[in-house]
Each structure stands twice: as structure tokens, then as C-alpha cells.
């Protein structure tokens, strides 16, 4: 299969495998991808699984068309990609093998040789010229083995991404990319989010036009979509608004409670309710869904003074993969000593930024009047954000939302008559209470300033400590004039027709501009309140909390240069060009400071 004029696909499809890595069901098989770069020198990119040696070698021989390869580039030493190294090296004795120092140590373990006389050791910043093609190597330790490198073809602007951007499923089967890529990423790479984030920062400096992974299809269009999903998954952000209810049930009473809860959640406006019986469902799919949605409810029984085994296994899968940044609710069942909620909460104690619901449902054998009321309370708490907009505007205007205003961080939403916009601000103050007036100050260079000055209305969304860095990337790093800030989001609207955020906020206020003060570089909008809603009781996100807990810490150790104060990107060099634009957040040189 021709990828470009000079790059050919020589991989194979595997429909014999039923469990990938001995645990992940793959009903549509797997692909083991290998590529050939034809130039003055010829490079083979990785090998394939041992069960497909001859099929792969046939593909290679046909693609070579009588020529001989010069290099074998090994990016990753897992056997589904490296099993044929020794066979290949014996078949082509003139070939040199290109890989990382750690990979050669692993080759010694796998093949009892590290090919010492034929090694080309590469690391961060190394390059290899094939003629008109130059391969630039980037280290990717623990994505998801320590020896991993990825390779960038400078000429074709192709990223050979090792296991990154891979998915379950053979290439001769058609299925949605995200579903199997999510299950693949969370199951296999999920623990290493920080390492993937580091690799994405490196990738942001490259002009990538095509991604060639070691599993799954070559990605050639809409790369921002795939990069965006990887950023969400690796930062443990919420991909989609919804609630996962994962349960186990012995005699059916817990299952009945879950069915009733799901009905209540849907009736109260939850856009997506996913119910999973952990004893019967694919465990890897259940784990992927827990990372996909922002809210999870766990329901199980006390069992041998512990919890039911399938729930215990599920929670272990979550904690092993750095599960975080979610809202969790509990349903427990126990005929004489219900302990499940306490046990589950203790198991999740190592996870970061989990918010546990106030309501917990305790069932003693079967639902009764008390536990049914608890179930209603749990549904109400989890759906507060969805039901807020349905309440009457004037009579139930909850002005206690004003108490959430501090020196905090907010998303201001507006609409220019055609599209919605959103902006991060930190200059919000309640200036009077008779009548209630709010002052919002916005830089004149921001598109939102122009829109609000024209329309006279805005929504103020008070961010809570549930907000991850992805929220700040979405609303703070791009201009709404040329970016859809709400792409891929489920949106909700207040009575003034503007969007309010259903997650990561504890309240929102709809504001009408009553007066405007020109402050030179900024404009101050003095506003009255037309609507105010409490969505949760999670603590307000302050600027200090953002700096200490949300904003990624720049990796500056041993480096000389400048660091972006907005996103932490590090520019290495003695001088920062005056016209430099941060490749991550798109802020200019004025927002950089020297590395201390």
C-alpha cells in the first residue's frame, strides 16, 4: 500500500488473535504496521508479530522490487513489533539497525545479541539522512516502554508514532476510530499520561501532515481531532458529558436500584447514561468509559467483608491507570453490615482530584422508602447542572451564587449573532449589592470584548476546582474569532440564549451590561444579574489553586532559555526572538520569562 511517493505500507492484519496482550478482546483483530521508506538509502520501520514472519517478508520483498534495505529502524521493543529483528538481520547482512541504547539492551535479552557491529544508536535530536529524506528522532520514554523513540520524516512531514495514535482492529475492518483507540490508549498507555503530555509538547513544535502508528490506520486528515483526543486522554480530562453507572449484583436487587437510578438520571436531563454490568461486560470497555465521562456511580454489594470481586477488579484497573478529575457517587448493598461504599472510597483514596457525592445510597437487601429517597437525592445531585436551566428565572434566582465570586477564574460566554464564544478571565468583582452589580474587566484585544460591547450580555461561569488544564487550553489559548471554542462539547443555554458550562463550574450568572468604563487597554463592564444558578458545591477555582495544582509545571531543570508564563512551554536558547509565538498557547514573547 502506497502512503506517499516514497513511503509504503508493508504491515499485516491478524484475525487469529482473540485477546491482545492476553487480556483485551479484539473482535476485529489487530494490525501490526511496518513501513518502508525508499530513497538513496532504504529504511524499514519496525517489524511485525512472530506469527506473520513470512507474510511480512513477502510484503517487504515485493515493495523492495529487487533493491536491498540499508537500515532497520526499531522504535519499540514489544514483541508484536520486534519479533522478526533477528530473522531480518540474518536475511539482510548488510543492514544496520537503528534504535535507542535501551532498545539494544533489550535486544540482548530477546535475541542473545545486541548486533554490536551493526548498531546505530540514536537519541533525542539525532538524525539520519536517507538522501532527500532525513529522519529526526525523538525520545518517548514510558510511552509506554522506556526504550521508545518516535521518528519524524522531515521531507514528507510524517510522524512515525510507535504505539502512539494506535487502535485495536485490523485495517480491513471498518469501525469508528475513537472507540477502539480510546480503549487501546486507556488500557495500555493510560498510566503514563504525564509522559504522553511531554511527547505531545514535542509534537507541537513539528509540522505534522501524516501520522503512521504501529497499530491502526494511517492518519492523514483532521489531525487536530486525533491530537485533541490524545491531549484529553493523557491529561485525564473529560471527553464527553455523561454518567457511567458501573455495578455488580448478586440476586438482582442492586441491579433494580441501578435501573431505577438510570431512569431518574435520564429524566433529569443527563445527556448520556451508560450502565455497565461489570460481571458481564468487557472490563476494558468499562474502564475506558470511566475515563470518557466526567461522572461515575459505583454500585456493589458487601461480599466477604469486602466488595464484590468484579467491582474490586474494576477499581484496581482505574487506580492503576491514574484515574482522576471525576465526580464519584456510591450505591452499597448489604443485608446486615453494608460496608461497600466505605471500602470503595478507601480504594480510590490514592486518586487525584476526585469529588465524592454528598448523597450515598445504602440498601439493606432491597430498596425501601429510605433508600429510594437516597436514590432520588443521588440523582438530583448528579443532575443539578442539567436541571438548573429548567427552573423559573425570577422566583428561584439563587443569589447565593454571588458567594462563589472571589479572586477566582471564570469562563465568560457570549455570542456574536452567528457563533458562540468563550474566554478565561480573572477580573470579576461584585461591586454593589443594592442593587447587585458585577464588574467584569476584559482586554480590548480579546474578541469577547468586541462581542459583549455590541450585544450587552454575557454569562459568567464560575470555575470550580474540578476544572482541568484542558478547560484553560480550550478557552484561553485561542481567539474565538477563528476558533469554535465549543467544538465537540454538549452545550446548555440559559434564559438569555447564551451557553453555560454544565461541568467544571459551581455556578453561573447571566449578566446584562448597564455601564461601560474605558480603562485604556481594558474595558470594564458593569452588569446587573438576570439569572443565577448553583450547579455544585465544589470549591471555586482560585488563581493560586490554578498555579499550584492545575497549570503544568515547566520542565526547566538543566535548561537555559525562557518559559511561557501562560502554559509552561520552554524555549531553549540565549535569546528569545521578539516575534516568537508559543507553539502551544499562541501567546507572544511578552508572556515569556527567563528560566531562573
User: What are the grid coordinates assigned to 510, written together?
Assistant: 447571566
Strand pairing category for 240-247 and 293-303:
parallel
Residue, of 335 and 47, whose pLDDT is higher: 47
- Dig out the grid coordinates for 27 from the structure: 473482535
Say if residues 314 and 347 touch (Cβ distance below 8 Å).
Answer: no
Predicted local confidence at residue 406, as pLDDT: 62
Per-residue model confidence as pLDDT tens digits over 248-287:
999 999 999 999 999 999 999 899 999 999 999 999 999 9
Over the chain, what is the mean pLDDT? 92
Q: CA torsion 497→443→528→480, rounded to 10°?
A: 0
pLDDT at 394: 36
pLDDT of residue 395: 41
pLDDT at residue 396, rounded to an integer: 52
In angstroms, rounded to a whole number, what is the distance separating the alpha carbons of residues 34 and 39?
17
Residue 595 pLDDT more than 80? yes
Q: Span 193-220, mean pLDDT?
A: 93
Q: Are 342 and 334 in contact (CB under 8 A)?
A: no
Give the span between the Cα atoms of 541 and 566, in whole angstroms. 16
Whether residue 147 is predicted with pLDDT greater than 80 in this model: the reply is yes
Alpha-carbon distance of 59 to 263, in angstroms, equals 54
Grid coordinates standing for 556?
526547566
Mean local confidence (pLDDT), 397-405: 64
Provide the b/e sequence for 452-489 (b: ≥16 CB within 10 Å): beeeebbbbbbbbbbbbbbbbbbbbbeebeebebbeeb
Q: Give residue-wise pLDDT tens across range 429-446.
A: 999 988 999 999 999 988
Helix (H, G, I), strand (E, B) or coil at 297: strand
Residue pLDDT, tens place only, 419-430: 999 999 988 999
Average of pLDDT values for 334-340? 90
pTM check: above 0.85: no
Q: Is the pLDDT of residue 47 over 60?
A: yes
- What's the Rg (C-alpha) of the chain? 27
Mean pLDDT of 206-229: 93
Average pLDDT for 397-406: 64
Beta strand 12-14 pairing with 30-32: antiparallel
**Between 490 and 250, where is the model more confident?**
250
Residue 492 CA to residue 499 CA, distance in Å, equals: 5
- Alpha carbons 584 and 564: distance in angstroms, whole number: 9
From 469, 473, 442, select the one nearest 582 (Cα to Cα).
Answer: 473
Predicted local confidence at residue 390, as pLDDT: 52
In the chain, pLDDT over 90 holds for what percent of residues? 75
Among the residue ranges 21-35, 93-107, 571-585, the one predicted with the least confidence is 571-585
Q: Assign 298 a pLDDT band (cuts: 50, 70, 90).
A: very high
Closest alpha carbon to 268 in 395, 400, 398, 391: 391
Amino acid at each position: 500500500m502506497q502512503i506517499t511517493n516514497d513511503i509504503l505500507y508493508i504491515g499485516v492484519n491478524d484475525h487469529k488473535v482473540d485477546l491482545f496482550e492476553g487480556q483485551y478482546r479484539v473482535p476485529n483483530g489487530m494490525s501490526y504496521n511496518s513501513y518502508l521508506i525508499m530513497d538513496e538509502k532504504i529504511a524499514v520501520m519496525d517489524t511485525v508479530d512472530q506469527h506473520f514472519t513470512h507474510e511480512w517478508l513477502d510484503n517487504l520483498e515485493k515493495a523492495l522490487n529487487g533493491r536491498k534495505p540499508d537500515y532497520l529502524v526499531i522504535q519499540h521493543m514489544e514483541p508484536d513489533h520486534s519479533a522478526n529483528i533477528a530473522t531480518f538481520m540474518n536475511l539482510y547482512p548488510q543492514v544496520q539497525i537503528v534504535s535507542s541504547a535501551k532498545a539494544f539492551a533489550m535486544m540482548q535479552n530477546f535475541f542473545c545479541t545486541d548486533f554490536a557491529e551493526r548498531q546505530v544508536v540514536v537519541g533525542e535530536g539525532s538524525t539520519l539522512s536517507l538522501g532527500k529524506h532525513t529522519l529526526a528522532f525523538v525520545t518517548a520514554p514510558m510511552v509506554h516502554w522506556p526504550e521508545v523513540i518516535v521518528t519524524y520524516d522531515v521531507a514528507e512531514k510524517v510522524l512515525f508514532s510507535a504505539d502512539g495514535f494506535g487502535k485495536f482492529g485490523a485495517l480491513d475492518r471498518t469501525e469508528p476510530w475513537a472507540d477502539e483507540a480510546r480503549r487501546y490508549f486507556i488500557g495500555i498507555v493510560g498510566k503514563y499520561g504525564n509522559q504522553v503530555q511531554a511527547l505531545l509538547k514535542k509534537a507541537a513544535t513539528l509540522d505534522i501532515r501524516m501520522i503512521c502508528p504501529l497499530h491502526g490506520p494511517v492518519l492523514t486528515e483532521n489531525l487536530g481531532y486525533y491530537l485533541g483526543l490524545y491531549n484529553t486522554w493523557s491529561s485525564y480530562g473529560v471527553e464527553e458529558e455523561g454518567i457511567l453507572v458501573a455495578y455488580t449484583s448478586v440476586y438482582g436487587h442492586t441491579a433494580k436500584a441501578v435501573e431505577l437510578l438510570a431512569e431518574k438520571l435520564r429524566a433529569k436531563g443527563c445527556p448520556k447514561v451508560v450502565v455497565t454490568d461489570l460481571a458481564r461486560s468487557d472490563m476494558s470497555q468499562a474502564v475506558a468509559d470511566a475515563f470518557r465521562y466526567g461522572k461515575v456511580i459505583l454500585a456493589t454489594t458487601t461480599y466477604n467483608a469486602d466488595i464484590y470481586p468484579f467491582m474490586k477488579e474494576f477499581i484496581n484497573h482505574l487506580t492503576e491507570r491514574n484515574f482522576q478529575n471525576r465526580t464519584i457517587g456510591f450505591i452499597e448493598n448489604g443485608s446486615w453490615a453494608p460496608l461497600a461504599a466505605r471500602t470503595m472510597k478507601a480504594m480510590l483514596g490514592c486518586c487525584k482530584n476526585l469529588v465524592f457525592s454528598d448523597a450515598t445510597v445504602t440498601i439493606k437487601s432491597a430498596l425501601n422508602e429510605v433508600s429510594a429517597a437516597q436514590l432520588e437525592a443521588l440523582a438530583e445531585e448528579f443532575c443539578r447542572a442539567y436541571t438548573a436551566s429548567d427552573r423559573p428565572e425570577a422566583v428561584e434566582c439563587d443569589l447565593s451564587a454571588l458567594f462563589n465570586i472571589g479572586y477566582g477564574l471564570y469562563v465568560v460566554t457570549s455570542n456574536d449573532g452567528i457563533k458562540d464564544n468563550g474566554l478565561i478571565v480573572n477580573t470579576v468583582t461584585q461591586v454593589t449589592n443594592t442593587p447587585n452589580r458585577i464588574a467584569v474587566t476584559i482586554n480590548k484585544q480579546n474578541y469577547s470584548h468586541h462581542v459583549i460591547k455590541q450585544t450587552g450580555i454575557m454569562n459568567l461561569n464560575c470555575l470550580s476546582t474540578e476544572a482541568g488544564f484542558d478547560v484553560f487550553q480550550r478557552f484561553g489559548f485561542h481567539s474565538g474569532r477563528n476558533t469554535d471554542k465549543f467544538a465537540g462539547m454538549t452545550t446548555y443555554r440559559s434564559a438569555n440564549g447564551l451557553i453555560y458550562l454544565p461541568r467544571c463550574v459551581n455556578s453561573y450568572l447571566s449578566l446584562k451590561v448597564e455601564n461601560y468604563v474605558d480603562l485604556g487597554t481594558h474595558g470594564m463592564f458593569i452588569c446587573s444579574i438576570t439569572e443565577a444558578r448553583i450547579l455544585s458545591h465544589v470549591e471555586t477555582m482560585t488563581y493560586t489553586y490554578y498555579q499550584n495544582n492545575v497549570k503544568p509545571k515547566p520542565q526547566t531543570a538543566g535548561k537555559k532559555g525562557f518559559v511561557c508564563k501562560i502554559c509552561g512551554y520552554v524555549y531553549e536558547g540565549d535569546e528569545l526572538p521578539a516575534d516568537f509565538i508559543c507553539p502551544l498557547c499562541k501567546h507572544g514573547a511578552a508572556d515569556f520569562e527567563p528560566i531562573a
